[in-house]
Structure 1
Amino acid sequence: MMMVGGFSDPKPATPEIQQLADQVKTQLESKENKTYGMFEAIQYRSQVVAGTNYLIKVQTSGDEYVHIKVFQALPHENQGPRLTGCQTGKTRDDPLTEF
């Protein structure tokens, strides 16, 4: 259920969410000064604002995960997705919470 102004409940990642994650991967690698061979979106939550914020759980190796926050502007603004935050050192069981 979507709460007005809040993030949705966690949902399994879709191909569209994987594409969003792939588009900000280089931003994350630059920020973390690290290259990720594996980058598989597992789960996400979304929040509608003037655009959409996404929290995405991404598997980066067998037992390593990162949580990324991505902002996607409204279509008429012609901007690609932007990485707005990240949390590293996560596990598969860590809840995807707002940060």
Structure 2
Amino acid sequence: MVPGGLTKAQTATPEVQGIADQVKLELENKVNRTYEIFKAIIFKTQVVAGINYFIKVQVADADYVHLRVFQSLPYKHESPRLDGYQTGKTKDDPLVYF
């Protein structure tokens, strides 16, 4: 892994799904939409002063969003923070830094 670089894409884990779930309501408020489906598919991470998670989330049969979620270092005891998102993505759109 290159310091500051993104890891290779990995299949989403229950931990990553939990991180996505914690920012779901915030995303729904920002895009003024409710998602019945909210399934983390793949993710990449970037080590900073904590971890940035880039997560591809399925929100409908053929509709995906990309999330950038910051998780601070454990000693800070802070919840994940939604730092960015991209809507209108497809299953095949690459998960890249944004």
Same fold at TM > 0.5: yes
- In structure 1, what is the equivalent of residue 81 of structure 2? 82
Specify every segment of 5 or more residues in structure 2 that has no aligned partner in the other structure, as ranges.
none
Deviation at 1:49, TM superposition (A): 0.8
Deviations 1:61-90 (A, max 9, x none): 100000000000011111100000000000
Question: Aligned AA for 2:60?
Answer: S
2 CA distance for matches of 1:69 and 1:13? Answer: 14
Number of equivalences: 98
Other-structure match for 2:92: 93
| Matches of 1:36 and 1:26, distance apart in 2 | 9
TM-score, normalization by structure 2: 0.98
Offset, 1:27: 0.8
TM-score by length of 1: 0.97
Alignment of 1:8-87 (within 5 A): 8-87=7-86
- Give 1:13's aligned amino acid: A
**SS in structure 2 opposite 1:42?**
strand
**C-alpha separation in 1, matches of 2:35 and 2:3:** 34
Select the structure that is richer in strand: 2
